Amino acid sequence: MKEEKSRKRVYVGMSGGVDSSVTVALLKEQGYDVVGVHIKMWSDPSIPCNFKEDRYDAMRAAEKIGIPFQTWDLTEEYRTAVVEYMIREYAAGRTPNPDVMCNRHVKFGVFLRRALEAGADFVATGHYARIRNQESGIRSLDAARDKNKDQSYFLWTLGQEQLKHCLFPIGEYTKPEVREIARKFSLPTAEKKDSQGICFIGEIDLNAFLKKHIPMRPGLIVTTAGRIVGEHDGLAFYTIGQREGLGIGGGIPYYVAAKDATANTLVVAEGPYDEKLFRQELAVMDVNWISGSAPPSGGFRCEARIRYRQPLQKCTVNLQPTTYKLQTIFDEPQRAVTPGQSIVFYRGEEMLGGGIIV
């Protein structure tokens, strides 16, 4: 009995996919006292959802591994922190990243808090990332070994208080290795395809979803040279860099370059190399540093990405003390810098933190 109590207890968020199933199997093998939790985050009968199927797959994996399994309904928290946030941001003309907010407020917010209240020492997820303990006692968040699957970009809002209670076991493995581990344990999710789309909602027609919540406000589409080429349904339904769905004919590839809210005009570039599609400097708000400490006010050199899986780009980061925002200056101009999206900073393998592009 004493030995049982001395084991560290981990609550694992089980999505029903192969990554979280292998996370459970690895932790159980390492001697942790593991509890599987499937988190219900979405309930809208008008939009298809795989909740029941995913929950069943998670339950089957938990049964195969031999751990307790629970279902937690966090639909209200998800609706408030993720869905309503997403709608507000699009309505304001920005392009949010709901996966980042899901991690911030749900998985490593309410789920972590409730797990600790229930007696957990840690929570774990199937994220491809790595936690490294430095000699100073600071916990670093590093990119995964599998650079094609690395998800550190979506975890920039975490801090030391969360990381001391987090485990990311599959960050040390490649995706093929994870699937091989799943086969070794004969997990029912071993060959299940990866989910796509918005965190815990999945693949939806985003434009149709937004039009259910944001009124249309048609206006003109003009080129960067000022030529009228069409009409838009409302600036909220377009994002910087977008090419598809503009409804402009003529054979020229048009890309959204800017949104003029004052004139209610959508500005498009003619071709992918129009200089109006590129920015070298940008401002950043809502900044978080993984270490918990801000960098020197004089600025520093590092690398950053402004979208998931973008190759890292060299830049200089300066703190703006008058606005409490960061200024980022890239060595090379960046294409389709999108307000509302995340910029995430790295130094080598270490993810330093990030913020929201203004």
Q: Supply the residues annotated as catalytic.
A: 102, 199
The alpha carbon of residue 256 and the mean position of all alpha carbons in its chain are separated, in whole angstroms, by 23
Residue 221 to residue 358: CA distance in whole angstroms: 23
CB 65 within 8 A of CB 29: no
- Pick left, alpha or beta for residue 34 (phi over 0 → left; psi -120 to 50 → alpha; otherwise beta): beta
- Give the pair of three-digit tokens for residue 276: 């109006």
Residues in the chain: 358
16 a known binding residue?
yes
Does 356 carry a binding-site annotation? Answer: no
Could you give the CA distance from residue 14 to residue 24 in angstroms, rounded to a whole number? 8
Please give the C-alpha separations between residue 252 and each of 233, 245, 246, in angstroms, as whole numbers. Answer: 20, 14, 12
SS3 at position 58: helix
CB atoms < 10 A from the CB of 186, how many?
Answer: 10
Is 13 labelled a binding residue?
A: yes
Cα–Cα nearest to 24, from 59, 67, 54: 67
| 20 assigned ligand-binding residue | yes
18 is in an annotated binding site: yes
The string over 80-97, giving b where at least 16 C-beta atoms fall within 10 Å of a residue's C-beta and e elsewhere, is ebbbebbbebbeebbbbb
- Answer yes or no: is 14 a known binding residue: yes
Q: Which residue type occupies 106? A: V
Cα angle, residue 95 at apex, residues 89 and 100 outer, rounded to 5°? 85
The answer to whether 17 is annotated as binding is yes
**Is 241 labelled a binding residue?**
no
The alpha helices in 218-296, defined as continuous H runs, are none
Q: Is 31 labelled a binding residue?
A: no
- Report how far residue 39's alpha carbon sits from residue 275's, in angstroms, rounded to the nearest whole number: 45
234 marked as part of a ligand binding site? no
- 128 vs 144: CA distance, rounded Å: 5
List the helix and strand counts (H, then E) for the chain. 10, 17
Specify the pairing of strand 33-40 against strand 122-124.
Answer: unpaired
Binding site, annotated residues = 13-20, 39, 126
Binding site, annotated residues for ATP = 13-20, 39, 126
